[in-house]
Amino acid sequence: MKNNAPYLTLIFLLFVALKFWYTQATTESLLFFLKPVDKIVELAVDSPSQFLPQKGYFHEDLNIVIDRSCSGFNFWLICFVMLGSSAMKFFLRPRQKIAAIFALLVFSYFFTIFVNAWRIWISVKMQKVWASIFMTPPAQIHQVEGTMIYLASLILVYFTVDWLFRKTTRRYATPA
């Protein structure tokens, strides 16, 4: 753990810097998340969208907007910090640790795009069903649904990546 302190500090500083940037971010500056998610949703539910500046991608057929709050940015940061901090024990050399941090930052981005598009697809497909079963406002259902999908995805990716690292690294650097 002691030899991982500089790398855990780097992960923490990246988290803080990105989180600070996000507080200032506009819908337009989050297009690197919103656009790919929107394209996947367009294809998955066969619903064309229109980009509305300062709002997001509007799907008239579905009456939804994929906006700043749908970017998945916070999920990305949580996923990155979780994977990055847990992966340090698998690498012995500084270059490996640095490479792992940046590889997991990129991996977490693509994983976030996938999970976020999946979350929106499920929400669109299940909106009427959930409303009739739970008889609660759609906004609450959407929030609970998102939380459950994000949590399940984090658990799944953690155990999968941990298993892959255990299988592929030659030496497990810290005792269990």
Residue type at position 169? T
Highest mean pLDDT among 106-110, 119-123, 126-130: 106-110
Higher-scoring residue by pLDDT: 166, 155: 155
User: Bridge-partner residues for 57, per DSSP?
Assistant: 51, 66
| Class of residue 64 by CB neighbours under 10 A (exposed 0-12, middle 13-18, buried 19+) | buried
84-to-5, 30, 52, 108, 150 alpha-carbon distances in Å: 12, 22, 35, 10, 17
Bridging pattern class, strands 56-59 and 50-52: antiparallel
Contact between residue 108 and residue 79 where contact means Cβ atoms under 8 Å apart: yes
Higher-scoring residue by pLDDT: 174, 164: 164
Q: Tell me what pLDDT residue 141 has.
A: 76
- Helix, strand or coil for residue 159? helix
User: Bridge-partner residues for 56, per DSSP?
Assistant: 52
Q: Tell me what pLDDT residue 36 has.
A: 97
- Dump pLDDT digits (tens) for 47-57: 999 999 999 99
Residue type at position 1? M
Bridging pattern class, strands 56-59 and 64-66: antiparallel
